[in-house]
Amino acid sequence: MIKHIVMWKLKDVAEGKTRDENARIMKEMLETLPPKIEELQQVEVGINILHGADQSICDVVLTVVCENKEDLQAYAVHPDHQKAVAFIKKVVNERRVVDYEQ
């Protein structure tokens, strides 16, 4: 079992929307992926409820569970995932990723 965790800090304003609006759009986009990508066993998306000047605070977190590395790679290159990635790249300042086996 592989867990893929991604955390993002969003731009204050991007694509004509606020950070909070873009966070909700990201959440909706990512949560629609499991029925479209069979390799995804579980997807959870959270929006941080705390805001502040602390540089370590991220705005959105994604946790994906896949059976193995091959399934994670299939998810990574899937066209529906790539559509979400294209939007996310426009609205984020920073991204952090951890992949690990359970």
7-30 average pLDDT score: 97
pLDDT in tens, 55-100: 678 999 999 999 999 999 999 999 999 999 999 999 999 999 999 9
Q: CA-to-CA distance for 66 and 23, rounded, in angstroms?
A: 23
C-alpha closest to that of 25 among 37, 10, 36, 40: 10
Q: Tell me the domains of the chain and their CATH numbers.
A: 2-101 (3.30.70.100)
Question: Which pLDDT band, with edges at 50, 70 and 90, does 54 fall under?
Answer: low
7-12 average pLDDT score: 95
19-47 average pLDDT score: 97
96 — phi, psi (to 5°)?
-130, 140
Q: Check pLDDT > 80 for residue 52.
A: no
